[in-house]
Structure 1
Amino acid sequence: MIYLVRHGQTEFNRERRIQGHNDSPLTELGVRQAKAVGRLLRDLIRDPAVWRIVSSPLGRARSTAEIIAGILGGLPVELDDRLMEMSWGASDGRLRDEVAAEHPDTFGKTGWAFDAATGGESYEAVAARVGAWLASLPPEPDRRIIAVSHGISGRVLRGLYANLGRDEAGQQDVPQDAVFLLQHGGVGRIDCEPLDDL
């Protein structure tokens, strides 16, 4: 099984900036979300010692993974570039509203677009690297992975795992206070305890 986590809220999330391969630190709420996810996983996992934590190397995901690892007793955090967020190329770091004003069709019906980002990654490129990561894992039931990723790459990962089409995968929720269980070809959502926004 895989427990898939999105990083906690960041400064860029709060500002509605496209992060892509850029980075920004977790907000205070983001730290609280990561701790809530860690507590939830501690309750779900009986023996953390037999689990691996694999994270995108981008700072926001790595910080979230390290918080979770601490709550689980100090598990080592492995980094894997294949879990990185999609790059928007020249739009990385820009406000979503600015990009939408210049290119009204950029975000499409799912709220995210792949091919429209100047110099950014295509859906196929993200799916290829995320799919390669999935294919590299041990088969179920020997798979015990906590994966810490991002909004878009996490959507693609869940879509590939559940055999969803591109549009359906793109319309999935991307909460920062929940865990997705990927098991037996299905995806289930487990919410954390409620947190008040700051």
Structure 2
Amino acid sequence: MIYLVRHGQTEFNAARRMQGHLDSPLTALGRAQAQAAAALLAREIGDPAGWRLVSSPLGRTQVTARIVGEALGLPIEIDHRVIEVSCGDWEGHNRDELAEAHPELFATFGWIFHGPGGETYDQVRDRIAHWLTDLEPEPERRVIVVSHGGAGRVIRGAYMGWDRAATLDQEVPQDAVYRLVNGAIARLDCDVPAPA
């Protein structure tokens, strides 16, 4: 079983800026989302014995993973294979401005793979498929992974064996956790309180 968590909202998310391998701090809402995901996972998992907590190396995922880890009493393992898609030269730029400059690329989520100097879909899928292959087989697999919007789409698509179009045509909520088990995916919505 895999539980997939996207990091909580960041300042760049709120400003609609491209992050990729750049980082920005979690907002108050982002921290509330991470705490809600941690509470949901604590209820889902119960006894955390035998579970692993894996995080992308970026700060926003590590902060989210730290909140989850504290709730479950689990240490964090860093794995670069679940890092966000590199958007190359587009990182740090406003997404709406990029969409205005490149409307033909922004018709679908595939635009994330068109940043000059960034990663291709195949590169991201290959590294994520390698990570999935290295996991314990089901039913022994007990992994919580804290990743990103783009990478999270690819994790779910690679797990299900979906093609590129189906993989990219998925939601990337920051207030839900996905459970991947027995060849199926379930979305579990978090109860996120309004930040103080």
Could you state the TM-score of these two structures normalised by the residue count of structure 1? 0.95
Alignment partners' CA distance in 2, 1:197 and 1:96: 25
Q: Which of 145, 156, 159 matches 1:158? A: 156
Q: Secondary structure at the residue paired with 1:108?
A: coil
Note the residue ranges of structure 2 that are not aligned, 5 or more in a row. none
Tell me by how many angstroms 1:163 deviates. Answer: 1.5
Alignment partners' CA distance in 1, 2:29 and 2:113: 32
Give a deviation string over 1:1-56, Cα, whole Å, max 9, x none: 00000000000000001100000010010000000000000000021121100000
Q: Superposed, which structure 2 residues align to 1:91-106 within 5 Å?
A: 91-106=90-105
Amino acid in structure 1 at the alignment position of 2:117: G
Amino acid in structure 2 at the alignment position of 1:130: I
Q: Superposed, which structure 2 residues align to 1:100-119 within 5 Å?
A: 100-109=99-108, 111-119=109-117
Tell me by how many angstroms 1:116 deviates. Answer: 1.8
Q: Superposed, which structure 2 residues align to 1:144-183 within 5 Å?
A: 144-183=142-181
- Identify if the C-alpha distance between structure 1 residues 118 and 62 changes in structure 2 by more than 3 Å, giving closer, same or farther: same
Q: Superposed, which structure 2 residues align to 1:37-52 within 5 Å?
A: 37-52=37-52
Amino acid in structure 1 at the alignment position of 2:75: P
Q: Secondary structure at the residue paired with 1:36?
A: helix
Please provide the CA RMSD for this pair.
1.3
Q: Secondary structure at the residue paired with 2:116?
A: coil
Contact 2:8 2:33 in 1 (8 A): yes
Q: Secondary structure at the residue paired with 2:49?
A: helix
Contact 2:17 2:93 in 1 (8 A): yes
Tell me by how many angstroms 1:128 deviates. Answer: 0.5
Q: Secondary structure at the residue paired with 1:49?
A: coil
Pairing 1:65–2:65 present:
yes
Query: Which deviates more, 32-41 or 92-101?
Result: 92-101
Tell me by how many angstroms 1:103 deviates. Answer: 1.3
Q: Secondary structure at the residue paired with 1:50?
A: coil
Q: Secondary structure at the residue paired with 1:187?
A: strand
Tell me by how many angstroms 1:171 deviates. Answer: 1.2
Alignment partners' CA distance in 1, 2:115 and 2:162: 23
Pairing 1:16–2:34 present:
no
- Identify if the C-alpha distance between structure 1 residues 90 and 57 changes in structure 2 by more than 3 Å, giving closer, same or farther: same
Contact 1:106 1:117 in 2 (8 A): no
Tell me by how many angstroms 1:108 deviates. Answer: 2.6
Could you state the TM-score of these two structures normalised by the residue count of structure 2? 0.96
Alignment partners' CA distance in 1, 2:119 and 2:164: 15
Contact 1:99 1:106 in 2 (8 A): no
- Identify if the C-alpha distance between structure 1 residues 114 and 97 changes in structure 2 by more than 3 Å, giving closer, same or farther: closer
Contact 2:10 2:60 in 1 (8 A): yes
Identity %: 52
Pairing 1:134–2:132 present:
yes
